[in-house]
């Protein structure tokens, strides 16, 4: 069978979990693969599955073993060099995880051997097979930056992997080095981290793969990334300002704002827990002012400081007519209407519920 492949990735720990999900996606996208894991049977099964789509070299062994890393380097040379190295194989440590003061140091050494030293040792072993713009993906964890009790062994090893990645990036500017939090995933490691717990609510590892593909095939600078955040649509800001206002006399307030101010009803709800209405107030904006500015507006509209931290302001087409309608609904004008220095015509009122309100009519003159 012949395949059109011009890119090769070496992925450690590819017999299950995230490594397998990534290998499957890369095979589909025509990448040539070099895969490892310690367990031969599972790895051979993966090789058989993916060999239908691409060239797959599967070498079982332990990433902490120098002879195994040499075998991977020989495979990399045979493949014509590496476009990507994904350091994914990892060791959680004891399950359940002990707190640091009880942590067996011989096991901690092994955690560091797998999670910190092996990724670097692998890069050293394959250094002459790395293409000039190679992508190095070191799979980390939120435990590498957050201080979760019980996660000190694994977490500190991931923190070390992250710093090692950052320095590698600084020392090798032609490379792209990424250290990545894949997020919680429904895998064997997650089950070991939470023994006996139902982990079926965790996302499948496949959900973290598109972010890794973005790093492998996109053009992101070296750095730390959260896999899933890479493919989430960008946050585009709030779409509505809704002022949630608690009123003691609910019926009076609804009558006042809906019928006298003329705000159309959008929605209403009634339940044993309470009542609410949603009134449309046209375009919503949020005006933030500092205390001197708030005092200035009070002085202009009323002549003295009257409002608390919140005041409602409504633009109306005719301040005189709107004021009359609100007075009929129980509002008290706090002053006559005033011409503001910026040209608007403003009327301050106090609504029956006590809220300070400004009605403003925007000047039509330029
Ligand atoms: N699962 C999560 O929620 C989660 C969260 C944050 C970060 N991560 C990180 O994501 C990565 C993948 O984790 P995963 O959850 O997919 O783990 P997993 O399901 O347990 O798979 C781990 C893979 O690595 C292989 N492996 C383990 N130790 C190895 C060694 N010494 N040498 C070679 N291969 C080895 C395993 O096969 P053998 O056992 O046969 O060797 C297996 O193929 C890890 O770096 C992990 O730290 C996971």
- Domain of 350: which CATH number? 3.10.180.10
Q: Which of 50, 182, 203 to mutate to test the pocket of ligand 1 (most atoms within 8 A of CB)?
A: 182
Instruction: Please tell me the number of Cα atoms within 13 Å of 107 on its side-chain side.
Output: 16
Kindly state if the Cβ of 57 falls inside 6 Å of ligand 1. no
Kindly state if the Cβ of 62 falls inside 6 Å of ligand 1. yes
Domain match, 201 and 302 both: no
Residue 286 lies in a domain: yes
Decide: 162 and 110 in contact? Cβ < 8 Å. no
Which residue's structure tokens are 């400081």?
305
Domain match, 222 and 292 both: no
Instruction: Please tell me the number of Cα atoms within 13 Å of 97 on its side-chain side.
Output: 22
Report the nearest-CA residue for atom 30 of ligand 1. Answer: 62
Residue 34 has what DSSP assignment? E
Ligand 1 center to 13 CA (angstroms): 6
Domain that includes residue 41, residue range: 8-231
Q: Taking residues 124-135, what's their average pLDDT?
A: 98
Other CB atoms within a 10 A radius of the CB of residue 57 amount to 20
Is residue 241 very low, low, confident or very high in pLDDT (cuts 50, 70, 90)? confident
Q: Taking residues 9-19, what's their average pLDDT?
A: 98
Q: Please give the mean pLDDT across all residues of the chain.
A: 95
Domain match, 107 and 36 both: yes
Domain match, 206 and 285 both: no
The angle that helices 40-50 and 17-28 make with each other, rounded to 10 degrees, is 20
Q: Taking residues 167-196, what's their average pLDDT?
A: 98
Domain match, 187 and 321 both: no
Domain match, 314 and 223 both: no
Residue 70 has what DSSP assignment? H
Kindly state if the Cβ of 182 falls inside 6 Å of ligand 1. yes
Two tokens, residue 127: 């250094």
Ligand 1 center to 199 CA (angstroms): 16
Decide: 88 and 13 in contact? Cβ < 8 Å. yes
The angle that helices 66-78 and 118-125 make with each other, rounded to 10 degrees, is 40
Residue 212 lies in a domain: yes
Q: How far is CA 212 from CA 5, 21, 168, 207, in A?
A: 19, 11, 19, 10
Q: Taking residues 184-198, what's their average pLDDT?
A: 98
Domain match, 91 and 169 both: yes
Residue 259 lies in a domain: no
Residue 95 has pLDDT above 60, yes or no: yes
Domain match, 218 and 287 both: no
| Single residue among 194, 216, 231 that ends a domain in this structure | 231
Domain match, 60 and 136 both: yes
Residue 338 lies in a domain: yes
Ligand 1 center to 87 CA (angstroms): 10
Low-confidence winner among 136-140, 271-275, 295-299, 334-338 (lowest mean pLDDT) = 271-275
Ligand 1 center to 101 CA (angstroms): 25
Decide: 279 and 266 in contact? Cβ < 8 Å. yes
Report the nearest-CA residue for atom 20 of ligand 1. Answer: 189
Ligand 1 center to 22 CA (angstroms): 12
Residue 354 has pLDDT above 90, yes or no: yes
Q: Taking residues 248-262, what's their average pLDDT?
A: 96
Residue 192 lies in a domain: yes
Nearest to 92, CA basis, from 117, 69, 71, 111: 111
Q: Taking residues 277-285, what's their average pLDDT?
A: 94
Residue 224 has pLDDT above 70, yes or no: yes
Two tokens, residue 280: 């449309």
| Single residue among 196, 231, 266 that ends a domain in this structure | 231
Residue 266 lies in a domain: no
Q: What is the pLDDT of residue 1?
A: 58
Residue 301 has pLDDT above 80, yes or no: yes
Kindly state if the Cβ of 18 falls inside 6 Å of ligand 1. yes
Residue 272 has pLDDT above 70, yes or no: yes
The whole-angstrom separation of Cα 366 and Cα 363 is: 8
Residue 365 has pLDDT above 90, yes or no: no
Report the nearest-CA residue for atom 17 of ligand 1. Answer: 189
The angle that helices 152-171 and 118-125 make with each other, rounded to 10 degrees, is 30
| Single residue among 231, 262, 295 that ends a domain in this structure | 231
Q: What is the pLDDT of residue 5?
A: 66
Cis peptide before 351 (omega within 30 of 0): no
Residue 269 lies in a domain: no
Q: What is the pLDDT of residue 234?
A: 76
Nearest to 120, CA basis, from 85, 147, 152: 85
238, containing H or E segment: none
Domain count for the chain, please give it. Answer: 2
Low-confidence winner among 1-10, 133-142, 261-270, 332-341 (lowest mean pLDDT) = 1-10
Q: Taking residues 79-97, what's their average pLDDT?
A: 98
Ligand 1 center to 265 CA (angstroms): 55
Decide: 112 and 154 in contact? Cβ < 8 Å. no
Domain match, 220 and 325 both: no
Decide: 360 and 344 in contact? Cβ < 8 Å. yes
How much of the chain exceeds pLDDT 70, in percent?
A: 98
What value does the CA radius of gyration of the chain take, rounded to a whole number of Å?
A: 32
Q: How far is CA 214 from CA 13, 162, 228, 311, in A?
A: 20, 19, 10, 47
Ligand 1 center to 320 CA (angstroms): 72
**CATH number for position 200:** 3.40.50.720
- Please return the burial class of 274, using the count of CB atoms within 10 Å of its CB with bins 0-12, 13-18 and 19+: exposed
Report the nearest-CA residue for atom 7 of ligand 1. Answer: 141
Domain match, 222 and 301 both: no
Residue 115 lies in a domain: yes
Domain match, 210 and 139 both: yes
The whole-angstrom separation of Cα 10 and Cα 116 is: 17
């Amino acid at each position: 069978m012949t395949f059109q492949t011009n890119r090769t990735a070496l992925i450690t720990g590819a017999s299950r979990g995230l490594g397998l999900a990534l290998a499957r996606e890369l095979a589909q996208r025509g990448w040539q693969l070099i895969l490892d894991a310690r367990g031969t049977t599972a790895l051979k099964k993966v090789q058989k599955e993916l060999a239908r789509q691409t060239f797959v070299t599967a070498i079982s062994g332990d990433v902490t073993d120098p002879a195994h890393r040499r075998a991977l380097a020989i495979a990399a040379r045979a493949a014509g060099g590496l476009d990507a190295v994904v350091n994914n194989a990892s060791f959680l440590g004891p399950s359940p995880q002990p707190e640091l003061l009880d942590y067996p140091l011989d096991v901690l050494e092994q955690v560091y051997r797998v999670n910190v030293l092996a990724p670097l040792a692998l890069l050293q072993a394959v250094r002459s097979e790395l293409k000039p713009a190679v992508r190095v993906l070191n799979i980390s964890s939120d435990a590498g930056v957050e201080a979760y009790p019980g996660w000190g062994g694994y977490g500190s090893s991931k923190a070390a992997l992250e710093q090692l990645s950052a320095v590698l990036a600084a020392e090798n500017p032609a490379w792209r080095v990424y250290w990545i939090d894949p997020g919680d995933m429904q895998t064997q490691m997650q089950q070991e981290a939470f023994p006996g717990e139902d982990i079926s609510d965790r996302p499948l590892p496949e959900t973290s793969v598109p972010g890794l593909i973005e790093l492998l095939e996109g053009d992101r600078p070296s750095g730390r990334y959260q896999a899933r955040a890479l493919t989430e649509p960008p946050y585009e800001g709030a779409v509505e300002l809704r002022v949630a206002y608690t009123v003691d006399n609910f019926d009076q307030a609804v009558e006042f704002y809906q019928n006298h101010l003329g705000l159309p009803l959008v929605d209403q709800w009634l339940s044993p827990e309470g009542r609410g209405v949603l009134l449309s107030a046209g375009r919503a904006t949020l005006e933030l002012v500092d205390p001197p500015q708030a005092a200035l507006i009070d002085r202009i509209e009323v002549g003295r400081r009257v409002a608390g931290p919140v005041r409602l302001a409504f633009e109306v087409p005719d301040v005189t007519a709107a004021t009359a309608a609100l007075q009929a609904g129980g509002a008290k004008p706090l002053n006559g209407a005033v011409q503001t220095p910026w040209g608007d015509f403003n009327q301050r009122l106090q609504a029956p519920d006590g809220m300070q309100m400004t009605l403003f009519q925007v000047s039509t003159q330029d």
